[in-house]
Amino acid sequence: MTWQFSLTGLLIGVLVGLTGMGGGSLMTPILIIFFGFKPTYAVGTDILHGAIFKTFGAIRHRKLGTVHARLALWMFAGSGPMSLVGIGVAAILAHYYGDSAQSVEARAIGVALLLGGAGLFAKAFLRPRRGGAELYVLERRDKTIAFWLGFFGGFVVGLTSVGSGTFFGLVMLLVYPLAARRIVGTDIFHAAALLWVAGIGYLALGKVDLHAMAWLLVGSIPGVLIGSQLGVGLPDRPLRAALATTLVLSGVKVAGVPESSWIIVGALIAGTLALGTWKLAQREARRPLPVRAGD
């Protein structure tokens, strides 16, 4: 199985290029649902793939000057060590509970996907905080928030691979007066560093499928470049809302929610009807008004 991994990487890369962040959270559920990976191996492969993948974006944003390096460093001070704690918890669960630990971790991944989808929905309709000058010098409060954000977020990422973009980006959006481009750049820069630490941890435990990861990269690296070009001029909110819906439905499936198949089918039908209604409303709004006689 090679081209299937590359096609998956291409699709994920295009999504990340289109939405800016969040698409990588889809990799773990895809590896579990469609490729039959055990949750621990899916998380490890996804994290190391994301580390390499996001490094390209981090370098690009650093060159463009859209990274708040000190803010990223303070987040990493908490997230780097705690990601290793998350990996340790996953390893302990696997050691003491064996196969049953896989179902526990699958539920944890499912919950993280549900929260990630909700966070992405919020990001789709929120704008960067405004008021006063843009943040350049970090005050003590800013550093404290960044550290504890990294502390808790790093643990979740280490355990589930979900949230390296969504959770951190959402909190920065709400808390720090930064331009949107600096939020994206700082988020990707921090995510790359965090995922390298967690990825090496999973690699040391032998929980990374290197063959699958290599073929994923064959598709994902060109995919993010293609997506970046396609994203120019496309509406951002519908794209992120669609991705958030996908994350939520993936979370329902991975977490093993009862009757999850019917929930997914119902959500897809509702989404299709909503999209059709929206398209009809747009068409009616663009229709020219009839000209009255005598005008």
- Asked if pLDDT for residue 294 goes beyond 60, the answer is no
Mean per-residue pLDDT over the chain, rounded: 77
Residue range 241-293, pLDDT digits in tens: 666 676 677 666 666 666 655 665 666 566 666 656 766 776 777 666 565 55
Provide the residue type at 180 as one letter: A
Contact (Cβ atoms closer than 8 angstroms) between residue 138 and residue 148: no
| Cβ-count burial 269-292 (b if 16+ within 10 Å, e if not) | eeeeeeeeeeeeeeeeeeeeeeee
Q: What is the DSSP string of 226-284?
A: HHHHHTTTS-HHHHHHHHHHHHHHHHHHHTT-TTHHHHHHHHHHHHHHHHHHHHHHHHH
Nearest CA to 32 out of 102, 137, 100 is that of 102
pLDDT at 10: 86
Task: Assess whether pLDDT exceeds 70 at residue 132.
Answer: no
**What is the band of 185 on the pLDDT scale with cuts at 50, 70, 90?**
confident
Structure confidence at residue 91 (pLDDT): 84
pLDDT of 199 higher than 80: yes
Model confidence at 148, pLDDT cuts 50, 70, 90, reads: very high
Is 200 a residue whose pLDDT tops 70? yes
State both tokens at 208: 């990374």
Summarize pLDDT for 51-61 with one digit per residue, the tens.
Answer: 888 888 788 88
* Residue bearing the bigger pLDDT, 151 or 39: 151
Mean pLDDT in residue range 159-168: 72
Going by the DSSP 8-state scheme, the letter that residue 291 receives in this structure is P
pLDDT tens track for 61-70:
888 888 888 9
Q: Please, how many CA atoms are within 13 Å of residue 148, restricted to the half-sphere of its CB?
A: 6
Residue with tokens 């990601």: 83
pLDDT at 213 over 90: yes
Residue 69's SS3 state is: helix
The per-residue pLDDT for 123 is 65
Residue 62: partners with Cβ closer than 8 Å, 6 or more residues away: 69, 185, 189
> Does the pLDDT value for residue 44 go beyond 70?
yes
Q: Which residue has the higher pLDDT, 71 or 16?
A: 71
What's residue 282's pLDDT? 66
pLDDT at 82 exceeding the cut of 90? yes
Nearest C-alpha neighbor of 101 from the set 188, 159, 183 = 159
78-15-20-28 Cα dihedral, nearest 10 degrees: 0
Helix (H, G, I), strand (E, B) or coil at 34: coil
139 has pLDDT over 90:
no
Residue 55: per-residue pLDDT: 86
Q: Are 158 and 87 in contact (CB under 8 A)?
A: yes
